[in-house]
Amino acid sequence: MIGKLLRLSSVRRLSSGKKQLHTIISQEIIKPSSPTPSHLYTYNLSSVDQLAPKAYMAIVLFYPNNENCTLTSQEKARVLKESLSQTLTRYYPFAGRMSSPISPYVNCNDEGVVFVEVRINNNLEKYLHLSELDNTLDCLFTNDLVNYKSPCNTSLVGVQFNHFDCGGLGVAVSMSHIIGDGSTLGSFLGHWALVARYGSADHQDVIPYIPHFIQFPCTKSNNVESRARKVDQKNFVSEKFVFPNSKLSELNKMVDIDINPSRVDVLTSLLYKAAAKAAATRSGCFTTSYIIIMVNMRNKLEKKLPQSTFGNISTIVMVPTDKHTSETPLSKVVEDIKKTISKELEGIQNVQQIGEYIKASRSKVLKRGNLNKVVNGTYWCSSLCGFNYSKLDFGWGKPIGINIALRSTHKNGFMLFDTLNGDGIEALVLLEKCY
């Protein structure tokens, strides 16, 4: 059942300076269509969940004004709410609350998910290619969740449905990293879109997206209450680059065939190599570099898990590379990264061991002596490739673009995701400015 409508007594307008950004139409709490069974009232977080960043993953999907769709804006909003209600029955922890930001479990009490409907006083095109460092993006997301200044928020998911002046739409979702990784977010969006399109969570095309849960024992909290760090926008710049498959194929030919790299492997290495060279050029000297790779472990455990497995089933691998990284052949950079990841993750059989590996890795970094030197020479890379965002059709067509708000993160890094036409990879690059 959809939660009680919390209509605002008057339409509230938010502005930036003299220019009005958006108007809140309504705000609701969407609850699961069926109550969560009593034996599922408590969802214990894994050791990996508890070590996850205290930040929200925020993504917005843009949809053009589809003249072939007969639904009005109000009907589309109704479809989203009803299908979200059904989806939350399957993804029941999303509708729960944490008793505190460092709680080792989620109270699956069906309190629901915030759903805000907003009128944006601009056309959709204005937001398609914005830098993630542009504060204009903030108006597309629920303020209380995407805001890194809210470390005490115990809600796990929030949704904002944006109506643009041109008739286009934006579906924005904020998900706490404590409850899941990029794969969890992708599976949730896929399930929700299918339920919206077919009208039922029991449809045959929806069933494959049913989440797979692992039952974890209740443990003493490993969480540390900390405020997520925000990048100083004045010192950083972000840009998006598109790499067509044809160019990625050319890059693959530059790499030893025995390594058998993926498109993501090669592009990650290229971006890392280029960034290290830029840093060396600026400083006038070469220093040891590090790259942190986010690795989805679902297919790497002894007993492979479905991609729909709920939670943080991922880890990070910190790869130290030669001090002359920028001068090293691309093939060697790819090889070093792949070999290190394979060696580091060898023997990890389950989620508990993933947590143990993450703790051990952090200890190694702290013991390096000069932590600031390590951190300042570090780049991160995360990939959302393969999550089929281009197919997220809620019933009015496929998206024409996505944007990601990395409101709090480490400096110097790359976020990769498939282009919506399927012909390449789009890279969101965040780097420190060169002066």
d(CA 77, CA 141) in angstroms, rounded, equals 16
> Is residue 225 a part of any domain in this protein?
no
> Is residue 327 a part of any domain in this protein?
yes
Choose between 209 and 80: higher pLDDT: 80
**How confident is the model at residue 369, as a pLDDT?**
46
Choose between 397 and 100: higher pLDDT: 397
Catalytic residue, from 177, 181, 265, 336: name it.
177
407: helix, strand or coil: coil
Can you read off the two tokens belonging to residue 264? 């993501």
> Is residue 220 a part of any domain in this protein?
no
Eight-state DSSP code of residue 152: T
Are 179 and 49 in contact by the 8 Å Cβ rule? The answer is yes
**How confident is the model at residue 259, as a pLDDT?**
75
| CATH code, domain carrying 154 | 3.30.559.10
Is 342 in the same domain as 203? no
Domain of residue 39: give its range.
2-209
The region of weakest confidence among 192-206, 238-252, 283-297 is: 283-297
Are 105 and 223 in contact by the 8 Å Cβ rule? The answer is no
Q: Could you give the percent of the chain with pLDDT greater than 70?
A: 80
**Widest Cα–Cα separation across the chain:** 65
Is 91 in the same domain as 164? yes
pLDDT for 318-356, tens place per residue?
A: 888 766 666 778 888 899 899 999 999 999 999 999 999
Q: What is the pTM of this model?
A: 0.88
- Model confidence at 176: pLDDT above 80: yes
At residue 297, what is the residue type? M
Mean pLDDT score of the chain: 83
Can you read off the two tokens belonging to residue 353? 């061991």
CA 240 vs CA 50, 281, 417: distances in Å: 31, 22, 11
Mean pLDDT of 61-70: 90
Is 166 in the same domain as 269? no
Q: Is 322 labeled as catalytic in the residue annotation?
A: no
Is 322 in the same domain as 176? no
**How confident is the model at residue 5, as a pLDDT?**
31
> Is residue 337 a part of any domain in this protein?
yes
**How confident is the model at residue 324, as a pLDDT?**
64
- Model confidence at 373: pLDDT above 80: no
Is 204 in the same domain as 238? no
**How confident is the model at residue 7, as a pLDDT?**
33
Q: Is the dihedral of CA 401, 308, 335, 52 positive or negative?
A: positive
How, if at all, do strands 401-405 and 56-63 pair? antiparallel
State the virtual CA torsion across 80, 52, 408, 293 in degrees, nearest 10: -100
Is 205 in the same domain as 238? no
> Is residue 217 a part of any domain in this protein?
no
The highest-confidence range among 13-17, 409-413, 414-418, by mean pLDDT, is 414-418
Write the DSSP assignment of 163-208 as a string of letters: EETTS-EEEEEEEETTT--HHHHHHHHHHHHHHHHHS-TTSTTTGG
Mean pLDDT of 273-291: 75
Is 312 in the same domain as 411? yes
- Model confidence at 15: pLDDT above 50: no
pLDDT for 292-305, tens place per residue?
A: 999 999 999 989 99
> Is residue 174 a part of any domain in this protein?
yes
Are 151 and 54 in contact by the 8 Å Cβ rule? The answer is yes
The region of weakest confidence among 69-83, 256-270, 389-403 is: 256-270
Is 317 in the same domain as 380? yes
pLDDT for 99-153, tens place per residue?
A: 888 889 999 999 999 999 999 998 998 888 776 555 678 889 887 544 434 445 6
**How confident is the model at residue 12, as a pLDDT?**
34
The model's confidence at residue 254, banded by pLDDT at 50, 70 and 90, is confident
- Model confidence at 282: pLDDT above 80: no
Is 196 in the same domain as 55? yes
Q: Is the dihedral of CA 370, 372, 378, 380 positive or negative?
A: positive
**How confident is the model at residue 201, as a pLDDT?**
87
Among 145, 174, 209, the domain-final residue is 209
Cβ neighbours of 199 (radius 10 Å) = 15
Write the DSSP assignment of 297-351 as a string of letters: -TTTSSS---TTB-S--EEEEEEEE-TTGGGS-HHHHHHHHHHHHHHHHTT--SH
Burial of 19 (0-12, 13-18, 19+ CB in 10 A): exposed
Q: How many domains does the chain have?
A: 2
Q: Is 393 labeled as catalytic in the residue annotation?
A: yes
Is 330 in the same domain as 413? yes
Is 200 in the same domain as 271? no
> Is residue 224 a part of any domain in this protein?
no
**How confident is the model at residue 133, as a pLDDT?**
56
Mean pLDDT of 356-372: 71
> Is residue 226 a part of any domain in this protein?
no
Can you read off the two tokens belonging to residue 428? 């969101």
Residues near 80 by beta carbon (within 8 Å), at least 6 away in sequence: 115, 159, 161, 171, 196, 394
Among 209, 242, 270, the domain-final residue is 209
pLDDT for 205-249, tens place per residue?
A: 887 788 999 999 887 766 554 444 555 556 777 888 999 999 999
The region of weakest confidence among 8-17, 71-80, 301-310, 403-412 is: 8-17
pLDDT for 32-49, tens place per residue?
A: 999 999 999 999 999 999
Catalytic residue, from 134, 144, 322, 393: name it.
393
Is 189 in the same domain as 247? no
